[in-house]
Amino acid sequence: MRKQKFEQLVTVFGGGGYIGSLLTRLLLDQGYGVRVFDNFLFGDDGVKDLKHSNLEIINGDVGNVYQVTSALKDTNIVIFLSELSGKRFEHKTKNDSLFRDSNYIAPSMVLYASKEYGAERFIYASSDCVYGGMTGLVYETAIPEPVSLYARLKLRMEESVIRAKSRIFHPTILRIANCFGYSPRMRFDLLPNTVLRDAIYRKQVSIDSENTCRAFVHVDDVSRAIATCVRAHVNLVSGEIFNVGANNQNLTRRMVVNAVKKIHNDFEVKIIKQQPDLYDYKLSCKKIEKLLDFTPTWTIEEGLADLKQHLTSGDIKDPYNDKYHNLPPLS
């Protein structure tokens, strides 16, 4: 990183990922110095063409203490996005220790190293999946009911993050809804993106639990929400938990398919009969709207229309490639 004057230095763990690659660009645009720390397990598409005098990119492992502490030098704000994500990975492997190491042990080390090395803020990207088996409209005050190992580890990490708060260390937790939309580091293992891809390329989509409800939010809006927390007065975010989603985008799977049909309707729908999804709730995002004046800007139709342009223009080569799914090779 060249010697430049910037507002503050933000280290983004997972800065080359689906959310991180957009967040990195946004923070640079807003005048921050940005240090991306990523192992680029799914490739470096997210940042490989990104050039900026206030950007430093480190290819590193969050489990390596030396690499982590080196990356934290002079850091004011730490954003942690770097974990193995989702139940698809959990279902594919029975290696619980790998999941625990990546999603609890390593993040815990980064958290306490951040505090020890003088960072002032720590923003942890959690998931709305911690609400688990709840039904109805859920608020941040609800007692979580995680139903998967992934969700349980997220909740344990949340507890560690809140306990780390001190007079000079200010952590924030974001419980992020299911993402969709285009990112430089693209993912097609997310329901709206998968449905659109299959509708275009296979002319058939398959869904199960068509009437269960989940919360959705565009990936660009998630990056904006994180940046909003970075800019917010510390008294508004220190020790706080915020749901991140769109109040008008609590949708069933069938509603997601219908949204795709509005922009591309040449496909058939196959309903898979299986055990109902345990997740069936709506997310309230009034807290972040009232306290931080944050509201999403993308509707699901707008986000999918934008993604369709990227798919049909040839920007995305081979959308069925494994690199577009958060499933690393398993030993």
Which string of DSSP letters, residue by residue, matches 192-210? HHHHHHHHHHTSEEEEEST
The pLDDT of residue 7 is 78
Q: Is residue 186 part of a domain?
A: no
Q: Is residue 165 part of a domain?
A: yes
Q: Return the pLDDT at 327.
A: 65
Regarding predicted confidence, which is higher, 39 or 277?
A: 39
Higher per-residue confidence, 317 vs 170: 170
Q: Tell me the average pLDDT across 161-189.
A: 97
Amino acid in the structure at residue 305: A
CATH code of 210's domain: 3.90.25.10
| In-domain check, residue 198 | yes
pLDDT at 275 over 90: no
Does residue 38 sit in the same domain as residue 90?
A: yes
Q: Where does the pLDDT of residue 331 fall: very low under 50, low under 70, confident under 90, or very high at 90 and above?
A: very low
Picking from 206, 218, 201, the residue whose alpha carbon sits closest to that of residue 311 is 201
Output the average pLDDT for the chain: 92
For the question of whether the overall pTM of this predicted structure is more than 0.75, the answer is yes
Which sign, positive or negative, has the C-alpha torsion 124, 292, 167, 165? negative
Residue 96 sits in the same domain as residue 75? yes
For residue range 136-159, list pLDDT tens digits in order. 999 999 999 999 899 999 999 999
Closest CA to 244 of 224, 263, 262, 269: 224
**pLDDT band at 4, cuts 50/70/90?**
low
Mean pLDDT over 3-7 rounds to 67
For residues 186-205, give the mean pLDDT: 96
Residues 234 and 313 in one domain: no
In a domain, 275, yes or no: yes
Are 135 and 275 in a shared domain? no
Mean pLDDT score, 308-321: 94
The CATH number assigned to the domain holding 141 equals 3.40.50.720
| pLDDT-based confidence at residue 44 (cuts at 50, 70, 90) | very high
Are both 35 and 115 inside the same structural domain?
Answer: yes
173 and 84, same structural domain? yes
291 occurs within a structural domain:
no
Taking only the tens place, the pLDDT of each residue in 66-115 is: 999 999 999 999 999 998 775 555 455 556 788 889 899 999 999 999 99
CA 103 – CA 165 distance, rounded (Å): 20
* 226 & 210 share domain: no
Question: At 87, which helix (H) or strand (E)?
Answer: helix 87-92
Q: Does the residue 210 lie in any domain?
A: yes
Whether the pLDDT of residue 202 is over 80: the answer is yes
Inter-residue contact 234 to 131 (CB < 8 Å): no
Judgement on whether residues 116 and 253 belong to the same structural domain of the protein: no
Which structural domain, as residue segments, surrounds residue 23? 9-180+216-244
Please give the pLDDT value at position 329: 47
Number of domains within the chain: 2
Note whether 108 and 39 are same-domain residues.
yes
Q: How confident is the model at residue 277 (pLDDT cuts 50, 70, 90)?
A: low
Q: What is the pLDDT of residue 2?
A: 46
Residues 161, 20: one domain?
A: yes
For residues 240 and 310, membership in a common domain is answered with no
Q: In the prediction, which pLDDT does 95 show?
A: 61
Give the per-residue pLDDT at 330. 40
Tell me, yes or no, whether 273 and 258 share the same domain. Answer: yes
Residue 115 belongs to a domain: yes
Region 196-207 average pLDDT = 96
Residue-level pLDDT at 87:
53
> Is residue 176 a part of any domain in this protein?
yes
- The tokens for 244 are 């991140």
- Residue 212: name the closest of 248, 251, 247, 249 by CA: 251
